[in-house]
Amino acid sequence: MFGQRLRHARRARGLTLAELGARVGRAASVLSLLENGRREPKLSLVEALAAALSVPPGELLRKQPPSRRAQLEIALADAQRDPAYADLGLPYLRAGARVPNDVLEHVVALQAELRRQRVKPTATPEEAREANVDLRAMMRERGNYFAPIEQAAAEALAAAGYAGGALSQGLLLSVVRHHGFSVKYVHDLPRSVRSVTDLRNRRIYLKQESLGMHTPRTVLLQTLGHFVLGHSAPLDFADFLRQRVEANYFAAAVLVPEEPAARFLREARDARSLSVEDLRDVFAVSYEMAAHRFTNLATHHLGLPCHFVKNDAGGIIYKAYENDGVVFPADEAGAIEGQRMCREWSGRQVFAAADRFSPLYQYSDTPSGTYWCVAFVDPGPERDFAITLGVPFEHSRWFRGRETVKRVTSACPDGECCQRPPARLAARWEGLAWPSARAHSHILSALPRGSFPGVDEADVYSFLEKHEQD
């Protein structure tokens, strides 16, 4: 009952698990365990929680369920604070004793629908790009390191008895079970999702098949991440994006745990043989996850600034991060995704290499300095992507592959570098070429609608209905 009352009080105040956790100095995962009745709180924590929620401790410890009436009264008060409701210009409705429950039920249900209709998480491509730019700025500011998520991952691992090395399937399932979820592999998962979670029966449905870096283990941990980090249905596209980044971070932090990974990287640096390949192999993750995880830990633990890019064979950028001053191509709004990267950069050079599936090392002289980079092609189910990790020249000395003699010069974003055709060819072909463009259906071009963009709810509900009795 304590858990129910705690959740009731927290939700009534519109707090996420993470927000309440921050107020009492506990991880969201700990509060989630309390709310789900899987752990008994110490009295000191009850008092801290009660203070954080401004309720008497006795209120949280009462043995009765919070009443429907109480719930409705709180919901009505919340509703009237909502800007969309306030816009209606109605006088304040006090939920006095003479207002019957069914009236409250109606008002609260109408307001919920009002809120639902107002939610437009997908917005326009411009807004989506803007959200991406903001998110990247926030990641850059923190050196791409998120202490609360590292802590949540470390706690989840400790609770499951993790003792180092790559995460076994058995340990992975025990991390999931520890949070009260079971896992079921199915063949008929709706096409618009990577996983579906039945919150009534706390069961996560997955397909036993890899989608690029999204192996069944990463999808499972990303899904669990949403619950451990206390996410609720996204309010807008920026919220959706932030949640996705956090859930991905959580998955990476469980599969490549901070403490052993940081130790491994420090030793490799001291031996001057840092390499993304080794990180990938030791923790048995994809190259992309290893490179991305490297960016999480490199600045915080090794004091190394770095950059990360994911691009396709045509040089189109899908993901990018930097805190080392490298200048990515960007549109007027600052968006990098969807831009075409310099031909000289290693992420494009690797596609042209004789052995495209071995790491390519190179130095690139750019307008913002010289960088040492390693690029690797991660084969995907639909297309291959190049993953690049780079550091400023002076830090190359810690990396394996620093002895490479490949060196290029890039003047991008100056158009004379590689974005405009050479004058001789332009003179010969201008006006005499008619390319038929291939439509880019990727990333931010056409965003589907819904709280969970692009997810077919009808499919998802009938799927859950069908499997509930399995």
Q: Does 282 bind Zn ion (CB under 5 A)?
A: no
Q: Which of 119, 316, 417, 447 binds Zn ion (CB under 5 A)?
A: 417
Number of residues near Zn ion (by CB under 5 A): 5
Choose the binding region for Zn ion from 155-163, 212-220, 230-238, 418-426 (rule: CB under 5 A).
418-426
Q: Does 309 bind Zn ion (CB under 5 A)?
A: no
Q: Using CB under 5 A, which residues numbered 79 to 108 contact Zn ion?
A: none
Cβ closest to Zn ion, residue 262 vs residue 418 = 418
Cβ closest to Zn ion, residue 72 vs residue 342 = 342
Judge whether 300 and 143 are in contact, CB under 8 Å: yes
CB of 380 to Zn ion, least distance (A): 25
- Upstream peptide bond of 413 is cis (omega within 30 degrees of 0): yes
Cβ closest to Zn ion, residue 409 vs residue 462 = 409
Cβ closest to Zn ion, residue 265 vs residue 412 = 412
Q: Using CB under 5 A, which residues numbered 315 to 354 contact Zn ion?
A: 342
Q: Does 418 bind Zn ion (CB under 5 A)?
A: yes
CB of 421 to Zn ion, least distance (A): 12
Q: Using CB under 5 A, which residues numbered 351 to 410 contact Zn ion?
A: 410
Q: Which residues, in sequence order, are CB contacts of 225 under 8 Å at separation 6+?
A: 246, 247, 248, 249, 250, 251
CB of 368 to Zn ion, least distance (A): 13
Q: How many CA atoms lie within 13 A of 211 on its CB side?
A: 12
CB of 342 to Zn ion, least distance (A): 3
List the end-to-end C-alpha distance of the chain, in Å, as a whole number.
Answer: 29
- The Cα 175–Cα 180 span in angstroms is 9
CB of 407 to Zn ion, least distance (A): 15
- The Cα 30–Cα 130 span in angstroms is 34
Cβ closest to Zn ion, residue 278 vs residue 365 = 365
Q: Which of 6, 412, 443, 464 binds Zn ion (CB under 5 A)?
A: 412
CB of 418 to Zn ion, least distance (A): 3
Cβ closest to Zn ion, residue 222 vs residue 366 = 366
Cβ closest to Zn ion, residue 298 vs residue 418 = 418
Cβ closest to Zn ion, residue 18 vs residue 341 = 341
CB of 330 to Zn ion, least distance (A): 14
CB of 351 to Zn ion, least distance (A): 15
What residues line the site for Zn ion (CB under 5 A)?
Answer: 342, 410, 412, 417-418
